[in-house]
Amino acid sequence: MASPADRIFHNGPILTMEEDMPRAEAVAVSGGKIAAAGTAAEVFALRGPATEVTDLAGRALLPGFVDGHGHLAKVADSLHSANLAGPPVGEVVDIPSLLDTLRAFIRGRRIPPGGWVRGRGYDPAFLAEGRHPTRDDLDRISREHPIHLTHVSGHLVSANSLALALAGIGADSADPPGGIIRRADGTNEPNGVLEENAMAAFSTGVIPMPSSEDQLAALEEAQRIYASQGITTAQEGAMFPAEQALLQEAAAAGRLRIDVAGYAFWAQAGVMLSGAPAGAYQGRFRNAGLKLMLDGSPQGKTAWFTKPYHTTPEGQLPDYRGYPAMPDERANAVVEEAFANGWQVLSHCNGDAAADQFIAAVERAAAIHRSADRRPVMVHAQTVREDQLDRMATLGILPSFFASHVYYWGDYHRDVVMGPERAARVSPMRSARRRGLRFNIHNDSPVVPPDILRLVWSAAARRTRSGELLGPDQAVTVEEALRAVTLDAAFAHFEDREKGSLAPGKLADLVILSDDPTEVSLEDIQSIRVEATLKDGSLIYGDF
């Protein structure tokens, strides 16, 4: 006879994500794993004298949510920055309110002269002036504080004169390959805005790091935020050496409450993954593979398309299509190295030209190393074409769609970035589904908050901020969207045997919701509350 269960959940909708039994009447947990899922009679057969029984009272029980793609360590780091986002994430609506927010941040944090001031989340798409803050704007705040602001996408920064000087950026600085230093009109003087690889000037120790304890405390707060959204497995999807060290330190100290899969940024992957190969979790952290970056951001107008932007960005020619982050030869070499070493590879591809580059690199590497279960992931896959999806299905490339773009930037993509036809196919989930591709969906936090239920709603509703429908023929059902943040996201991490569904033997990673997302109206999904999150059967957020 099986041992008695530690806990039994019953009396509410239980969504298992298992195809042969999508719903259960009860679930039993024992030793941090699912002991049984099925009828009440079957599960209550495991009840013993010490078994705790949780009456869901109509609330819904689901597998814990899996972060398809995001940046936990960067969410933690963003807690040291001023929130410069617009509604509904922040309150910045124009350059004056951005400057006021920074002034209040300096006062509130009591940052002395010489101390760095960081902000994150500004977005020209929703600033009244429709432009980036420049060095002149930021110099109005302070010439004694170096100021460094990160665009909402993470693909551009804006800095004041002192920050530029400390980074060694001046009129004689050349644009690096795959990056642009924007200039003041008619001059070579930097205007403060740096694109893509030009941002590396600030990543060489120029900006002081918070203390180790401050970083660990911020990481704990970031995990609390994730757990409050029902997330039990997070990703650091572009891990740099300092972030790897932080996550390993937190894991060794027992300060990770959720699992974290880290993907080493391609330029340092050889060092970061050699001697620390992808494998099992140690203290809730594991090295999961390599992250490749092939283009930029559509809302930042640096994504690499095969056709020109709908509205030509300022300072560009009418045939501007964005640009690659690296040449084909380098992309091919990185993917081939990953295949040769058995590293899973994730590649950032927003534009369809970048998608072409990644597909070709995978095809080439697969021909050299032959068949294996490698599960390469195309991250974002925002503008993949039908012919590209055909090739992805053949090669086993999994899309991870940035589905919340439909809500946050759908109007902007339709009117400015891509035009109506291309924008209607942003995150073509239905097309992928028709081909049998196992896709997941993500928020790419800290680009947008790790709000899983809004992500599910966005994938199913396809509504923009203005309330307009955008490509409704690419919508998926709520059930499909939920699978994309549970079992199929776990599959993309090679963790579907342990996570993503409520099946005996899997980890008891669970989320309790106030309502069943499949039973309420689409609009009411965003109002559903996460009432409790459990990791390995232990409560990490909320209450029963």
**Residues 500-538: pLDDT tens digits?**
999 999 999 999 999 999 999 999 999 999 999 999 999
* CATH for 81-202, options being 3.30.390.10, 3.90.650.10, 3.10.310.70, 3.40.50.720: 3.10.310.70
Determine the Cα–Cα distance for residues 442 and 379; give it in Å rounded to an integer.
9
Determine the pLDDT at residue 273.
86
> Phi-psi region for residue 176, left (φ > 0), alpha (ψ -120 to 50) or beta?
beta
At residue 2 the predicted structure's pLDDT band, cuts being 50, 70 and 90, is: confident
Alpha helices in 12-79 (DSSP H): 40-44, 72-78
Q: What is the pLDDT of residues 175-211, one digit of tens each?
A: 999 999 999 999 999 999 999 999 999 976 899 989 9
Q: Is the pLDDT of residue 372 over 90?
A: no
What pLDDT does residue 276 have?
60
Positions of CATH 3.20.20.140 in the chain? 294-476
What are the tokens at 421? 């036809």
Rounded average pLDDT over 154-181: 95
Query: One-letter amino acid identity for 353?
Result: A
> Is 63:511 a contact under the CB 8 Å cutoff?
yes
Q: In the structure encoding, which two tokens stand for residue 232, read together? A: 């039990």
Q: Name the pTM for this structure.
A: 0.95
Residue 91 burial (10 A CB sphere; 0-12, 13-18, 19+)? middle
> pLDDT tens digit string along 441-474?
999 999 999 999 999 999 999 999 999 999 999 9
Q: Quote the pLDDT of residue 139.
A: 97
| Residue ranges of the chain assigned to CATH 3.10.310.70 | 81-202
Q: Is 111 exposed, middle or buried (0-12, 13-18, 19+ CB in 10 A)?
A: middle
Structural tokens at position 263:
């993907």
Which H or E run contains 467?
Answer: none
CA nearest to 375, candidates 464, 442, 439: 439
pLDDT at 314: 85
Cβ contact 436:477 at 8 Å: no
Q: Locate 410 and state its tokens.
A: 């759908």
pLDDT in the model for residue 280 = 86
Pairing between strand 33-38 and 23-30?
Answer: antiparallel
Q: What is the CATH number of domain 294-476?
A: 3.20.20.140
Question: In 3D, which of 411, 388, 515 has the Cα closest to residue 462?
Answer: 411
Number of CB atoms found within 10 A of residue 212's CB? 11
Mean pLDDT of the chain: 96
Please, are residues 313 and 325 in contact by the beta-carbon 8 Å criterion? no
| 212-228 and 241-252 helices, crossing angle to 10° | 80
If you average pLDDT over residues 317-324, what whole number do you get? 97
Q: In the structure encoding, which two tokens stand for residue 535, read together?
A: 């990791």
Q: Per the structure block, which two tokens stand in for 180?
A: 């642009």
Q: What is the mean pLDDT of residues 332-360?
A: 97
pLDDT 10s digits, 227-267: 999 999 999 999 999 999 999 999 999 999 999 999 999 99
Residue 277 has pLDDT above 60, yes or no: no
pLDDT mean over 321-349: 96
Q: What pLDDT band is residue 278 in, cutting at 50, 70 and 90?
A: low
pLDDT score of 275: 63
Q: At 187, list the tokens.
A: 């001059």
Distance (Å) of CA 1 to CA 48, 455, 544: 12, 42, 29
At residue 116, what is the residue type?
W
Distance CA 407, CA 110 (A): 36
Please return the burial class of 421, using the count of CB atoms within 10 Å of its CB with bins 0-12, 13-18 and 19+.
exposed
Q: C-alpha 129: how far from its chain's center? A: 28
- Residue 338: phi and psi, rounded to 5, are -60, -45
Q: What phi and psi, each to the nearest 5 degrees, are found at residue 139?
A: -65, -25
